[in-house]
Structure 1
Amino acid sequence: MRNKQWLLAVLPFFLFSCVSTKKFKDAEAKNAEITSKYSTLLGEYNDCMKQKTDLNTQKATTDNDNSNLRNQIADLQKQNDFLKQNSTTMLNQLESLSVLSNSQAESVKKSLESLGAKDMYIQNLQSSMAKKDSLNMALVMNLKGAIGNLDDQDINIKVDKGVVYIDISDKLLFKSGSYDITDKASVVLGKVATVLKNQPDIEFMVEGHTDNVAYKGSGDLIDNWDLSVKRATSVVRILQNKYGITPSKMTAAGRGEYVPLTGNGSAQDRAANRRTRIVILPQLDQFFKLLEQPK
C-alpha cells in the first residue's frame, strides 16, 4: 500500500519532466530555424548593401566624367559668346559705312550662321552625353543583375570614362597555365552572353591578361603572349558556339603581362593581373548620329 502511495506521488513529477523536455526541444529547434533564417536574411542584406556601394562608386565616376565634359562645354560656350560679341561689334561698324559690298555681306551672314550651328551642336552634345551615360549605367545594372552575387574578386563590372569593362579572374575561367574554359566559367559567360545578345548594336573586345611570371609549360604555347591570346580566343569561341553571339561583334586580343592592374610584387597582385577583360566598345558612329540634325 505504501508503495502505491509513493508511486502516485512521484508519477506527476516524471510526467511534468517529460512534457517540459519536449517543449524545450521544440523551442530549441524553432530558435535554430529562426537563427538560420536571420543569418540568410543578414547575408542577403549585406549583398544588397555591397551592390549599393558599387553602384554609388560607378555613379561618382560617371558624375566626375560628366563634370569634366560640362567644363569643356562651358569653355566652348564662352568662346561662342565671345565670337557673338565680336560679330555684333563688326555689324555695328559695318552699319556706319556708306557702302557694304555683296561679298562682305555674305561673309557676315555665314559667320552668324556658323555661330547658330555651334550653339545647336553644344546643346546636342549635352543631350547625347546624358543619353550615352544612361545607356551605360543600364547595361552595368543588367549585367550585375544577371550574374548575381558572385564575389567581386572573381568578376568586376564598371564604367570608366564612358566605357563598360567586365573583368573576370583567370582562377574562375581557367586552370593554371591552361586555356580550357572551366564548367563554372561557362555558366558565368552564359549569363553575360544573355545580356549582350539583348543589345544587338553592341560590339566588344575580349582581352587576355597574364602576370609577369614567365610561362614554363609545354605544348603549343611559347610564352605569356601566346597564353593570353589563346585564353581570349577560347572565350569568344564559347560565346559564339555555345551562346550564339554574332562573331562579327567580337574581337579577341592578347595583352600578355604588359597592361597590369597593379604591380606584380605579391601573389595577390599577380592574381589580380591574371584576368580576362570584356571591353564594350564605344559606338562612335552611333554617338555622332545623335548629334545630327533631323532632316
Structure 2
Amino acid sequence: MIKKIVLIIAIGTFMTSCVTTKVYKELENKYARLKRDHRKMEDELSTLTTVSTTDKKTLEELEAAYQKLKAEKDDLQGHYNATLANYENLKDSYDALEKNSSAAIAANSKKNRELLAQLESKERDLIAERNRLDALKRDLALRSKRVDELEGLIAAKDAKMQALKTAISKALRNFEGKGLTVEERNGKVYISMENKLLFQSGSWAVGVQGQKAVKQLGRVLADNKDIVVLIEGHTDNDPYIGTTQLAGNWDLSTKRATAIVTILLQNKEIDPQNLTAAGRGEFAPVASNDTNEGKSKNRRIEVILTPKLDEITKLLNDDM
C-alpha cells in the first residue's frame, strides 16, 4: 500500500511539469483522500488487533474452564461408577435377605396384625374412658355449682337466723334474767321461757308478764313469715296432781304449748301454718330433776325457730 502511495507521488511529481494546474489539484486532492483512507485503515487495523487479543484471551479462559469441567465430569463419572457398583452389591444382598426371610416376614406380618387389632381395641376403650371422664367432669362442675349455691343459701339462712336472734333478744331484753334465754345453735333460734314467767303451778293459763313476753315475740315473728315455729311444753318429773281434766305431765305440757300458740295467733300477721304446738312432758330435761333449781329449769316453754328450707330442699332434690 505504501509503495502504491509513493508511486502515485512520483507520478504526480513527474506530471507536475507536464500537466496543467487543474489536473495537479485533482491529483493532490486524491492523494489527500488516499492518505486519510490510509489512516482510517490503520485505525481499523489497530482496533481489530485489540479485539483479536481480547478474543484470544477469552478463548483461553473458555478452554481452561472446559478442561476444569471435563475433569469434574470425569471425577463424577468415577463416583457414579463406584456408587453403581455399591448399589448392585446392596441389591444382591437385599435380594438374598428377602429370599431367606420371607417366612419371618409372614410371621411378623401376622404378629403386626394382632398388635394392630389390640391397639384399635385399646383406642376404643380409651375413647370410651375419655367420654366417661368428660361426662364426670361436666357432672362435677354442675355439682360444684350446686354446692356453691347451696352454701350460699345456707350462709344466707344462717345470717337471717342470726339477725332474727338479735331482733328477738332486743324485743325480749326486758325479760332476760326472769327465766327467759335466747340462743342460736345449729342454724336455729331457741327461746326458752321458764314456767315462773308464764304459768302458775299446775296451770296452763298464761300470766300477765308471760302474755306480754309472748306478744312481743309475736311481733318479731310477724315480720319473718318464712320461719317455722315449734312451741314445745316441758315439765319436771313430779307427777301431776291437779285437776282431773288432765291425764298427766304430758297432757299439761301440751296444753301449755297450745296456750302459747293461742296468744301468738292474736297477731293476725302470723301465718297459723307456720306454728306447731307439742308437749314433751318430762322426757326432754335440760337439767337434773334431783334439785329444785334443776326442776325449775326443766319446767319451761321452748320456742324453736327454724328457717324454711324449701329452696335448699329443691336444690338437693334437683341434684339427685
- TM-score where L is the length of structure 1: 0.62
2:205 is equivalent to residue 166 of structure 1: no
Unaligned runs of 5+ in 2: 1-118
Q: What do the CA deviations read for 1:89-133 (whole angstroms, capped 9, x no partner)?
A: xxxxx9x95445775454232111122123223333332332222
For 2:217, the equivalent position in structure 1 comes to 192
C-alpha deviation, 1:148, in angstroms: 2.3
**1:161-240 matches, cutoff 5 A:** 161-240=186-265
1:133 to 158, 163, 173: 158
Cα distance in structure 1, aligned partners of 2:146 and 2:312: 13
Q: Contact conserved, 2:175 with 2:213, CA < 8 A, in 1?
A: no
Of 241, 248, 261, 2:286 maps to 261
User: Deviations 1:146-191 (Å, cap 9, x if unpaired)?
Assistant: 1123233411111111111111111111111000111111111111
Q: CA RMSD in A?
A: 2.6
CA separation in 2, counterparts of 1:248 and 1:126? 27
Q: Deviations over 1:180-226 (max 9, x none)?
A: 11111111111100000001111111100000000011231121011
* SS of corresponding position for 2:174: coil
- The answer as to whether partners of 1:128 and 1:291 remain within 8 angstroms in 2 is no
Give the distance between the partners of 1:123 and 1:200, measured in 2 at CA: 26
Cα distance in 1 for residues equivalent to 2:312 and 2:162: 16
- 1:139 alignment partner AA: L
Say whether the 8 Å CA contact 2:233–2:281 is kept in structure 1: yes
CA contact (8 A) 1:172 1:184 kept: yes
Amino acid at match of 1:131: A
In structure 2, give the amino acid aligned to 1:206: I
Determine if the alignment matches structure 1 residue 285 to structure 2 residue 310.
yes
List runs of 5+ in structure 1 lacking aligned partners.
1-93
AA aligned to 1:212 is: N
Larger Rg: 2
Q: Contact between 1:154 and 1:169, CA under 8 Å: does it hold in 2?
A: yes
Asked if structure 2 preserves the Cα contact closer than 8 Å seen for 1:190 and 1:243, the reply is no
What is the number of equivalent residue pairs in this alignment? 200
CA–CA distance in structure 2, aligned partners of residues 210 and 121 of structure 1:
43
Which secondary structure does the structure 2 equivalent of 1:156 belong to? strand
Percent sequence identity is 34
Aligned residue for 1:111? 136
Q: Structure 1 residue 275: deviation in Å?
A: 0.3
* Partner AA of 2:202 in structure 1: G
Report the more deviating stretch, 144-153 or 159-168: 144-153
For 2:99, the equivalent position in structure 1 comes to none
Q: With a CA cutoff of 8 Å and minimum separation of 6, indicate the structure with the bigger relative contact order.
A: 1
Look up the equivalent residue of 1:194 and give its one-letter code: R
The corresponding residue for 1:7 is: none
Asked if the contact 2:225/2:270 (under 8 Å) is kept, the reply is no
Structure 1: how far apart are the matches of 2:257 and 2:270?
Answer: 15
